[in-house]
Amino acid sequence: MSKLDLDYFENVLIYKSLTDGTYLASVADFIQPDFFKNKAIASIFTIVKDFSEKRNKLPTVTEIKSYLVSDEQKSSFKELVKSFNDIDKNLDKEELYENTEQFLKEKAVYHTMLSVAEDVSSGKVDTSDVLDKFEKSCNINLVTDLGLDLYTNINTLIDDINSVERHIPSKWEWLDDCLGGGFLEAGKSLYVFAGETNIGKSIFLGNVAHNIAKEGKNVLLITLEMSELLYARRICSNVTKVPMKEMVGNTPAIKQAIKDEKGKIFIKEFPPATITVNQLKGFIKKFQEQGIKLDAIVLDYLNLMHSTIGNNSYERIKHVTEQVRAMSYLFECPIISATQLNRAGFDQDNPDLATISESIGLAATADVIVSIYQNEEDRELGIIRLGMMKNRYGPRGMTQAMRIDYSTLTIEEADDIEFEDDGDQTLNILAGLAS
């Protein structure tokens, strides 16, 4: 994009705001008075904006003049109207909106820099807060697309109906059946495993990463709880079926098994409660810069992310969950993570969404929530249950027994064990939460 003449475009923006109600509605929320060099011009824009919002129409020149109080305002408005003669009135719509976005972003970033400089001078600098401010400055998107005209473009819908959605299999038949084939390859989805402390959430996520890589896909595994090498050792045990305690001296078997893997697993460790989603996005963009396409992101786990927004744990996890799901849109790949069940869910035979820590915010945002739980009988049998608590892509309330080989940290379906169908209970709970 070419360098924009900000002074000239400031007049363009004012002109279009005074003459095009649709344009004004698109830009109004992104503009701050400080964006205008002339304070009188800023006040005129505010007059036009407020008038339009209250009366649902643009003010006439006469109506604008009636609101001008100071001589400076009147003089500035007169000069402003004269400057409109130098503006190209036949502006290309696409170019206009592109230039507007550029203007708004440059102004927003500049004023963010001034704000950060003030924080530095006063000793009130928070690195995460600074990053959030710059993220917001750049997150300006003027929506010009009216969406899908359904009845006119019915063929677009027909093509979509007849198209085959691509999925990445989890390699667990029960889960893949529930999800319609596996994790959506195009992304835009957040999948969450919910379980109590030490029940095996990380083992599940490690298996997920390995199973996706077996499909020839590239997986990024973010660990906020254990070291990169420990996670790598776990996955190697899972890949080779060599117990972790027996890995010493089995170097040839490990190397050969890894060599035979089709995809790649990148493991990155961050200290718990130190990295924000914005910082994580910055890290993931490094893969794009190096030409590496990530097919899935595994995050271990949501509750250990840091957030600068929110005064309590509920607000923080809600913000984190919303941002993580938005990240799946940005990078066009599914994100698989985990969350902690609260105390109420530890001994339940069938945990519900109310047992998830900070459940309301997370439950409303995640596309799929699978519970991981055990009762006393399950422990004696050496199995763990999966329960489909929320599913935008298929049935809910279903359960499945799983066996974990703790020597190799391998998870397999236990099809020889069946549970009573308690789906009605789960669905009733979900309906209650939604009401």
DSSP per residue, 399-435: EEEEEEETTTTEEEE-TT------HHHHHHHHHHHH-
Q: Residue 346's pLDDT is what?
A: 41
Q: Residue 347's pLDDT is what?
A: 45
- For 62, the 3-state DSSP assignment is helix
pTM: 0.66
**Residue 107 CA, distance from chain mean position:** 26
Q: Residue 426's pLDDT is what?
A: 42
Domains of the chain are: 6-138 (1.10.860.10), 167-434 (3.40.50.300)
Q: Residue 220's pLDDT is what?
A: 93
Q: Residue 429's pLDDT is what?
A: 34
Q: Residue 242's pLDDT is what?
A: 83
Cβ neighbour number for residue 303 with a 10 Å cutoff:
20
DSSP string, 153-207: THHHHHHHHHSPPPEE--S-HHHHHHTTSSEETT---EEEEEE-TTSSHHHHHHH
Q: pLDDT per residue over 105-154, tens digit each?
A: 888 877 778 777 766 676 665 655 655 666 565 556 665 555 666 667 77
Q: Is the peptide bond before 8 cis (omega within 30 degrees of 0)?
A: no
Q: Tell me which residues of the chain have a pLDDT lower than 70.
A: 1-2, 118-120, 122-151, 156-157, 159-165, 187, 310-311, 342-361, 419-435
